């Protein structure tokens, strides 16, 4: 029987801890402890030696020091210490605030950036590589409510793809009407409108890709 992976989760906010636990259980792993500050996270990690630790970046050093901004960025400190002391524990540092997980609604998937975009983060794959830990892993929680709806209703096109599809159909229809000579007065403007729509779709897709790269760059620079 395959061993279940034990995970320590740490976040000050109860709703974020609940989201973390939901993602852990979805992967077939189990939560063995929940911490709400750096001190409790380190104490539990040293005592339990978890297979993995999922830590909120904004984990405070001590509860109740809200006036001290530095006290609310202890997640990296905790993750670094656990990773350094426990070579068999894979540590995942989670930016819950910017990922939108703080609202506590919907279903979330643990992901990390790669050369091919965002990829799902699987606990079992991490545990198989635990003998060769990759250091800290910086991850985010992405809502999966929209993809689930898409699966229920079939494949759906993104907004840029819709623009390009409509534009392509407009060009084809305009070209066809122009060739028939009967609807040339309608076909030429229709083809031109289709071309503009397709160009708009390409522009939107390019802008979306640029913003995604910028977000990935900011997340990477924050994690250094």
What tens digit of pLDDT does each residue of 124-153 get? 666 665 455 557 888 887 766 544 444 444
Please report the pLDDT score of residue 197 as a whole number.
78
d(CA 87, CA 80): 11
Q: What's the pLDDT tens digit per position in 95-117?
A: 866 555 555 555 677 777 666 66
Residue whose tokens read 């992405």: 142
Which pair of tokens denotes residue 130? 């635990």
Please report the pLDDT score of residue 129 as a whole number.
52
Please report the pLDDT score of residue 220 as a whole number.
46
d(CA 110, CA 123): 10
In this structure, the dihedral spanned by the alpha carbons of residues 192, 196, 197 and 198, taken in order and rounded to 10 degrees, is 100
Residue 152 vs residues 34, 155, 161: alpha-carbon distances, Å: 34, 9, 20
Which pair of tokens denotes residue 140? 């985010």
Ranges of residues in the chain with a pLDDT under 50 are: 67-69, 130, 146-155, 219-224
Please report the pLDDT score of residue 149 as a whole number.
40
Please report the pLDDT score of residue 121 as a whole number.
76
0.75 exceeded by pTM = no
């Amino acid at each position: 029987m395959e061993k279940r992976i034990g995970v320590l989760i740490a976040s000050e906010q109860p709703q974020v801890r609940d989201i973390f636990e939901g993602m852990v259980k979805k992967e077939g792993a189990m939560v063995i402890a929940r911490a709400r500050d750096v001190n409790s996270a380190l104490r539990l990690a040293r005592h339990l030696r978890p297979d993995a630790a999922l830590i909120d970046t904004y984990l405070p050093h001590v509860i109740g020091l809200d006036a001290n901004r530095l006290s609310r960025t202890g997640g990296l400190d905790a993750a670094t210490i656990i990773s350094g002391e426990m070579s068999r524990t894979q540590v995942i540092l989670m930016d819950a605030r910017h990922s939108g997980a703080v609202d506590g609604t919907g279903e979330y998937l643990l992901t990390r950036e790669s050369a091919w975009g965002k990829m799902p983060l699987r606990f079992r794959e991490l545990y198989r590589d635990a003998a060769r830990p990759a250091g800290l892993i910086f991850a985010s929680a992405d809502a999966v409510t929209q993809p689930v709806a898409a699966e229920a209703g079939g494949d759906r096109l993104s907004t840029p793809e819709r623009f390009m599809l409509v534009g392509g159909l407009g060009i084809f229809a305009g070209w066809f009407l122009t060739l028939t000579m009967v609807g040339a007065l309608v076909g030429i403007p229709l083809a031109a409108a289709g071309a503009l729509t397709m160009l708009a779709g390409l522009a939107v897709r390019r802008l979306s890709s640029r913003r995604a790269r910028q977000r990935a760059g900011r997340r990477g620079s924050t994690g250094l």
